[in-house]
Amino acid sequence: MDMTRSAGYWTSDRTVQQLRLRAVGTLPWADAGELAIAAQRRLDLEQDLPVSHLASVVTTLSRRRGADLRAAVWRRGPNRNALDALSYSSVITAPGGPAALSAEVMAALPGAMDSSVVTCADVRLEDLDAWAGALAASGARPRQDIRLPVEEAAEVLTVAWQTATERLAAVIAGDPARMRWAHPPAVELRLTAEARYDGAPHRQPELSDYIDMSSLGHTDRGQIREMAVTITAPPQLDPGERRTQARKALTYMARQFGFLEAAANRL
Protein backbone atom coordinates (compact mmCIF):
# COMPACT_ATOMS: atom_id res chain seq x y z
CA MET A 1 0.00 0.00 0.00
CA ASP A 2 3.03 2.32 -0.05
CA MET A 3 2.72 5.25 -2.46
CA THR A 4 5.61 5.36 -4.90
CA ARG A 5 7.71 8.49 -5.13
CA SER A 6 6.49 9.26 -8.64
CA ALA A 7 2.76 8.73 -7.99
CA GLY A 8 1.93 12.42 -8.36
CA TYR A 9 4.04 13.19 -11.43
CA TRP A 10 2.22 14.90 -14.32
CA THR A 11 -0.80 15.92 -12.22
CA SER A 12 -0.20 19.63 -11.59
CA ASP A 13 -2.75 20.96 -14.11
CA ARG A 14 -6.08 19.88 -12.65
CA THR A 15 -8.57 22.32 -14.12
CA VAL A 16 -11.54 19.94 -14.14
CA GLN A 17 -13.11 17.40 -11.84
CA GLN A 18 -12.33 14.01 -13.31
CA LEU A 19 -11.61 10.35 -12.74
CA ARG A 20 -8.00 9.36 -13.34
CA LEU A 21 -7.12 5.69 -13.84
CA ARG A 22 -3.34 5.46 -13.74
CA ALA A 23 -0.49 2.98 -13.89
CA VAL A 24 2.89 4.47 -13.01
CA GLY A 25 5.98 2.32 -13.37
CA THR A 26 9.26 2.70 -11.51
CA LEU A 27 12.09 1.10 -13.48
CA PRO A 28 15.36 1.39 -11.50
CA TRP A 29 17.75 0.25 -14.22
CA ALA A 30 21.47 0.34 -13.54
CA ASP A 31 23.23 2.89 -15.77
CA ALA A 32 19.87 4.45 -16.70
CA GLY A 33 21.54 7.86 -16.63
CA GLU A 34 23.17 6.98 -19.95
CA LEU A 35 19.85 6.47 -21.74
CA ALA A 36 18.13 8.84 -24.17
CA ILE A 37 14.89 8.42 -26.10
CA ALA A 38 15.94 7.52 -29.64
CA ALA A 39 14.19 9.39 -32.45
CA GLN A 40 13.19 6.24 -34.33
CA ARG A 41 11.67 4.59 -31.25
CA ARG A 42 9.71 7.79 -30.59
CA LEU A 43 8.38 7.75 -34.17
CA ASP A 44 7.49 4.07 -33.82
CA LEU A 45 5.48 4.92 -30.70
CA GLU A 46 3.66 7.73 -32.51
CA GLN A 47 2.60 5.31 -35.24
CA ASP A 48 1.68 2.58 -32.77
CA LEU A 49 -0.46 4.57 -30.33
CA PRO A 50 -3.62 4.83 -32.51
CA VAL A 51 -3.74 1.01 -32.77
CA SER A 52 -2.36 0.25 -29.31
CA HIS A 53 -4.00 -1.69 -26.50
CA LEU A 54 -4.46 1.60 -24.64
CA ALA A 55 -6.31 3.22 -27.54
CA SER A 56 -8.43 0.09 -27.89
CA VAL A 57 -9.49 0.01 -24.25
CA VAL A 58 -10.47 3.71 -24.38
CA THR A 59 -12.47 3.15 -27.58
CA THR A 60 -14.15 0.10 -26.04
CA LEU A 61 -15.51 2.21 -23.17
CA SER A 62 -17.77 4.05 -25.63
CA ARG A 63 -18.52 1.05 -27.84
CA ARG A 64 -19.96 -0.78 -24.85
CA ARG A 65 -22.34 2.16 -24.48
CA GLY A 66 -23.41 2.11 -28.11
CA ALA A 67 -21.09 4.64 -29.80
CA ASP A 68 -17.96 4.42 -31.90
CA LEU A 69 -15.78 7.11 -30.28
CA ARG A 70 -12.24 6.15 -31.13
CA ALA A 71 -8.98 7.18 -29.49
CA ALA A 72 -7.48 7.31 -32.98
CA VAL A 73 -5.69 10.68 -32.98
CA TRP A 74 -2.68 11.14 -30.72
CA ARG A 75 -0.65 14.33 -30.42
CA ARG A 76 2.48 15.37 -28.58
CA GLY A 77 1.87 16.91 -25.16
CA PRO A 78 0.44 18.31 -22.99
CA ASN A 79 3.52 17.45 -20.92
CA ARG A 80 7.16 17.77 -21.89
CA ASN A 81 8.84 16.10 -24.86
CA ALA A 82 12.64 16.01 -24.98
CA LEU A 83 15.53 13.56 -25.22
CA ASP A 84 14.76 12.57 -21.63
CA ALA A 85 10.93 12.79 -21.62
CA LEU A 86 7.85 12.02 -23.67
CA SER A 87 4.15 12.83 -23.54
CA TYR A 88 1.44 11.86 -26.04
CA SER A 89 -2.30 12.21 -25.58
CA SER A 90 -5.63 11.53 -27.24
CA VAL A 91 -8.82 13.43 -26.41
CA ILE A 92 -12.41 12.49 -27.20
CA THR A 93 -14.67 15.54 -27.14
CA ALA A 94 -18.38 16.19 -26.94
CA PRO A 95 -20.19 18.41 -29.47
CA GLY A 96 -19.05 21.96 -28.86
CA GLY A 97 -15.65 21.01 -27.59
CA PRO A 98 -15.74 19.86 -23.92
CA ALA A 99 -13.38 16.95 -23.29
CA ALA A 100 -15.19 13.75 -22.36
CA LEU A 101 -12.47 11.07 -22.28
CA SER A 102 -8.73 11.32 -22.65
CA ALA A 103 -5.65 9.14 -22.46
CA GLU A 104 -1.98 9.99 -22.12
CA VAL A 105 1.34 8.19 -21.99
CA MET A 106 4.33 9.79 -20.27
CA ALA A 107 7.89 8.87 -19.42
CA ALA A 108 10.88 10.54 -17.83
CA LEU A 109 14.49 9.46 -17.61
CA PRO A 110 16.41 9.85 -14.34
CA GLY A 111 17.01 13.40 -13.24
CA ALA A 112 17.25 15.58 -10.17
CA MET A 113 13.90 14.35 -8.82
CA ASP A 114 14.26 10.60 -9.40
CA SER A 115 17.06 8.11 -9.98
CA SER A 116 14.78 5.67 -11.84
CA VAL A 117 13.09 5.70 -15.21
CA VAL A 118 9.43 6.56 -14.60
CA THR A 119 6.70 5.59 -17.07
CA CYS A 120 2.99 6.27 -16.87
CA ALA A 121 -0.27 5.59 -18.67
CA ASP A 122 -3.41 7.56 -17.79
CA VAL A 123 -7.03 7.16 -18.81
CA ARG A 124 -9.21 10.04 -17.68
CA LEU A 125 -12.99 10.36 -17.59
CA GLU A 126 -13.12 14.11 -17.64
CA ASP A 127 -16.84 14.85 -17.68
CA LEU A 128 -19.74 12.38 -17.42
CA ASP A 129 -22.20 14.85 -18.94
CA ALA A 130 -19.84 15.60 -21.84
CA TRP A 131 -19.36 11.87 -22.41
CA ALA A 132 -23.13 11.31 -22.38
CA GLY A 133 -23.46 14.10 -24.94
CA ALA A 134 -20.74 12.62 -27.13
CA LEU A 135 -22.38 9.19 -26.94
CA ALA A 136 -25.79 10.61 -27.87
CA ALA A 137 -24.33 12.63 -30.77
CA SER A 138 -22.84 9.40 -32.13
CA GLY A 139 -26.17 7.59 -32.06
CA ALA A 140 -26.06 5.76 -28.73
CA ARG A 141 -29.31 5.20 -26.90
CA PRO A 142 -29.57 7.23 -23.69
CA ARG A 143 -28.54 5.38 -20.54
CA GLN A 144 -29.35 6.43 -17.01
CA ASP A 145 -25.97 5.33 -15.66
CA ILE A 146 -22.81 5.40 -17.77
CA ARG A 147 -20.38 5.01 -14.86
CA LEU A 148 -17.69 2.37 -15.19
CA PRO A 149 -18.30 -0.98 -13.51
CA VAL A 150 -15.44 -2.07 -11.27
CA GLU A 151 -14.58 -4.80 -13.78
CA GLU A 152 -14.15 -2.17 -16.51
CA ALA A 153 -11.93 -0.01 -14.33
CA ALA A 154 -9.80 -3.09 -13.58
CA GLU A 155 -9.49 -3.80 -17.31
CA VAL A 156 -8.34 -0.25 -17.99
CA LEU A 157 -5.75 -0.43 -15.22
CA THR A 158 -4.41 -3.75 -16.49
CA VAL A 159 -3.90 -2.32 -19.99
CA ALA A 160 -2.36 0.84 -18.52
CA TRP A 161 0.07 -1.36 -16.55
CA GLN A 162 1.17 -3.17 -19.73
CA THR A 163 1.54 0.15 -21.55
CA ALA A 164 3.60 1.80 -18.84
CA THR A 165 6.01 -0.99 -18.00
CA GLU A 166 6.28 -2.88 -21.28
CA ARG A 167 5.49 -0.64 -24.26
CA LEU A 168 7.02 2.57 -22.88
CA ALA A 169 9.98 0.68 -21.43
CA ALA A 170 10.78 -0.52 -24.96
CA VAL A 171 10.66 3.05 -26.27
CA ILE A 172 13.29 4.07 -23.75
CA ALA A 173 15.58 1.04 -23.63
CA GLY A 174 14.98 -0.73 -26.94
CA ASP A 175 15.42 -4.19 -25.41
CA PRO A 176 14.43 -3.83 -21.73
CA ALA A 177 15.12 -7.52 -21.05
CA ARG A 178 18.85 -6.84 -21.44
CA MET A 179 18.89 -4.05 -18.86
CA ARG A 180 20.30 -4.72 -15.39
CA TRP A 181 18.31 -3.82 -12.30
CA ALA A 182 19.65 -1.67 -9.47
CA HIS A 183 16.51 -2.34 -7.40
CA PRO A 184 13.27 -4.29 -7.94
CA PRO A 185 10.85 -2.67 -10.43
CA ALA A 186 7.32 -1.74 -9.37
CA VAL A 187 4.06 -0.46 -10.77
CA GLU A 188 1.47 1.54 -8.87
CA LEU A 189 -2.19 1.28 -9.91
CA ARG A 190 -4.22 4.33 -8.89
CA LEU A 191 -7.87 5.41 -9.04
CA THR A 192 -8.39 9.08 -8.21
CA ALA A 193 -11.41 11.36 -8.25
CA GLU A 194 -9.78 14.75 -8.71
CA ALA A 195 -11.13 18.19 -7.83
CA ARG A 196 -10.69 21.52 -9.56
CA TYR A 197 -7.91 23.81 -8.37
CA ASP A 198 -9.63 27.06 -9.40
CA GLY A 199 -10.48 28.29 -5.91
CA ALA A 200 -14.25 28.12 -6.43
CA PRO A 201 -16.36 26.05 -4.02
CA HIS A 202 -17.20 22.68 -5.51
CA ARG A 203 -18.50 19.45 -4.07
CA GLN A 204 -15.51 17.14 -3.73
CA PRO A 205 -15.81 14.26 -6.21
CA GLU A 206 -15.80 10.65 -5.03
CA LEU A 207 -14.80 7.50 -6.85
CA SER A 208 -18.42 6.34 -6.69
CA ASP A 209 -19.40 9.32 -8.86
CA TYR A 210 -17.54 7.68 -11.74
CA ILE A 211 -17.32 3.98 -10.81
CA ASP A 212 -20.14 1.67 -9.76
CA MET A 213 -18.54 0.12 -6.69
CA SER A 214 -21.51 -2.11 -5.79
CA SER A 215 -19.81 -5.36 -6.90
CA LEU A 216 -17.19 -4.82 -4.18
CA GLY A 217 -19.78 -4.85 -1.40
CA HIS A 218 -19.86 -2.20 1.29
CA THR A 219 -17.28 -0.12 3.14
CA ASP A 220 -17.44 1.95 6.32
CA ARG A 221 -14.73 4.36 5.13
CA GLY A 222 -17.19 7.04 4.01
CA GLN A 223 -16.29 9.16 1.00
CA ILE A 224 -13.40 7.55 -0.89
CA ARG A 225 -11.64 9.82 -3.37
CA GLU A 226 -8.50 7.78 -3.99
CA MET A 227 -7.42 4.14 -3.95
CA ALA A 228 -4.03 2.71 -4.89
CA VAL A 229 -1.87 -0.38 -4.68
CA THR A 230 1.78 -0.98 -5.60
CA ILE A 231 2.97 -4.24 -7.18
CA THR A 232 6.57 -5.45 -7.39
CA ALA A 233 6.81 -7.43 -10.63
CA PRO A 234 8.90 -7.71 -13.80
CA PRO A 235 7.77 -5.31 -16.55
CA GLN A 236 7.16 -8.05 -19.13
CA LEU A 237 4.45 -10.54 -18.19
CA ASP A 238 2.24 -12.96 -20.05
CA PRO A 239 -1.14 -11.22 -20.59
CA GLY A 240 -2.97 -13.86 -18.55
CA GLU A 241 -0.50 -13.56 -15.68
CA ARG A 242 -0.80 -9.77 -15.73
CA ARG A 243 -4.59 -9.96 -15.51
CA THR A 244 -4.36 -12.44 -12.64
CA GLN A 245 -1.89 -10.30 -10.71
CA ALA A 246 -3.91 -7.14 -11.35
CA ARG A 247 -7.07 -8.77 -10.00
CA LYS A 248 -5.24 -10.02 -6.91
CA ALA A 249 -3.69 -6.62 -6.27
CA LEU A 250 -6.94 -4.70 -6.81
CA THR A 251 -8.81 -7.12 -4.54
CA TYR A 252 -6.19 -6.56 -1.84
CA MET A 253 -6.49 -2.80 -2.38
CA ALA A 254 -10.28 -2.87 -2.09
CA ARG A 255 -10.13 -4.82 1.16
CA GLN A 256 -7.62 -2.36 2.58
CA PHE A 257 -10.13 0.40 1.85
CA GLY A 258 -12.89 -1.40 3.74
CA PHE A 259 -14.54 -3.47 1.00
CA LEU A 260 -14.10 -6.67 2.98
CA GLU A 261 -16.33 -8.75 0.66
CA ALA A 262 -14.23 -7.89 -2.42
CA ALA A 263 -13.18 -10.95 -4.44
CA ALA A 264 -10.95 -11.41 -7.48
CA ASN A 265 -13.73 -13.10 -9.45
CA ARG A 266 -15.69 -9.83 -9.34
CA LEU A 267 -12.89 -8.05 -11.19
Summarize pLDDT for 181-208 with one digit per residue, the tens: 999 999 999 999 998 776 677 788 999 9
Which residue, among 148, 231, 151, has the nearest Cα to 189 in the 3D structure?
A: 231
pLDDT, mean over the chain: 93
Amino acid, res. 210? Y
Query: How far is 171 from 105, CA to CA, in rounded Å?
Result: 11
Query: How far is 191 from 19, CA to CA, in rounded Å?
Result: 7
Domains of the chain by residue range: 18-266
Longest CA–CA span in the chain (Å) reads: 54
* pLDDT of res. 113: 63
pLDDT higher than threshold 80 for residue 13? no
pLDDT higher than threshold 90 for residue 44? yes
Which residue, among 126, 147, 3, has the nearest Cα to 64 in the 3D structure?
A: 147
The whole model's pTM is what?
0.95
Alpha carbon of residue 52 to chain centroid:
14
Amino acid, res. 117? V
